[in-house]
Amino acid sequence: MSKKMFVIWLIFTILFFSLGCFHLKASKNKISLFQISERPLSEYTSVKISGADVDKPLKDFARDFNSYLDRYNESSGRQNIMAAIGYFLASAAALFSMFLVLRQK
């Protein structure tokens, strides 16, 4: 019976450690920022409708959207790091349980 328990705890140790590594790697993934393409010959001309710059709303949107992406990337990275820490702790607990099963022999 203790050999079966040893194998079960070994599987849990490997599983939790693998999930921890997955979340640690995922914490480094970031969504790239939105970039506005320049209009051809934009340095020589400007586009206005009723006296308002046509590109201003797009520039405002890009600024706000990039601010949102920065906050999202930071939050997502933090959540993945916390999940990784939890899985590494669970892996350590499973490893400890595995050694306790070995000591019962």
Could you state, in order of their start, the residue ranges of all structural domains in the chain?
2-30+53-103
**CA distance to 28, 78, 103, per residue, from 23 (Å):** 9, 10, 32
Q: Per-residue pLDDT tens for 43-53? A: 666 666 777 77
- Write down the pTM of the prediction: 0.77
Confidence of residue 3 (pLDDT cuts 50, 70, 90): confident
Cβ atoms of 54 and 77 within 8 Å: the answer is no
User: Whole-angstrom Cα distance, residue 71 to residue 77?
Assistant: 10
Cβ atoms of 92 and 7 within 8 Å: the answer is no
User: Whole-angstrom Cα distance, residue 22 to residue 83?
Assistant: 10
